[in-house]
Amino acid sequence: MDMIKTALLAFAMILIQDALLAQQNAYISGPSEEQIDSLQHRFLTETSDQLRMGLARELAFYYTEINPDTARYFADTQLQLARNLGERLWEGDALWLSSYIILIMGQYSEAFTLSSQALSLLSDPSTERQVWEPGRLSLAGTPEA
């Protein structure tokens, strides 16, 4: 009987631990508060526009709910860099992110316009052929570097 109680207690503890870990969203992972200073410094000192574009996206996501004005700056930077580099998928992503940020700020008409532009760009067959290559964001050719 004691063995059954011990097994049930262990099972309950595992369920509680899993429930607590499930609160972290596995699909949306962004920088931690500790990493944000390093990302900002890297954004300011980085010379590669492709890397700056990726850093701007990470920073925009981080600030979206915390400080929408700052998030807008980084999303606009991502958009400008994407257009300069001819990266249509990144451009669509930046438009979509900008529309969400603008929506949070209460500018519904502009948010609708931006999301419509993003949808139009991302549904274009020529954009679909452009491969999202995360390896291009690294000097080593891998997204982990």
| 138 contacts 132 by C-beta, under 8 angstroms | no
pLDDT in tens, 8-55: 665 555 656 555 445 555 555 666 778 888 889 999 999 999 999 999
Reply yes or no on whether the pLDDT at 128 is more than 80. no
When pLDDT is cut at 50, 70 and 90, the band that residue 78 belongs to is very high
Measured CA to CA in angstroms, residue 80 lies from 4, 16, 43, 50, 96 at distances of 63, 46, 15, 11, 14
Question: Hey, what long-range contacts does 134-138 have (CB within 8 A, 24 or more apart)?
Answer: 136/50, 137/50, 137/51, 137/53, 137/54, 138/51
- Domain locations in the chain? 35-123
End-to-end CA distance of the chain: 54
Model-wide pTM > 0.85? no
pLDDT in tens, 93-126: 999 999 999 999 999 999 999 998 988 888 887 7
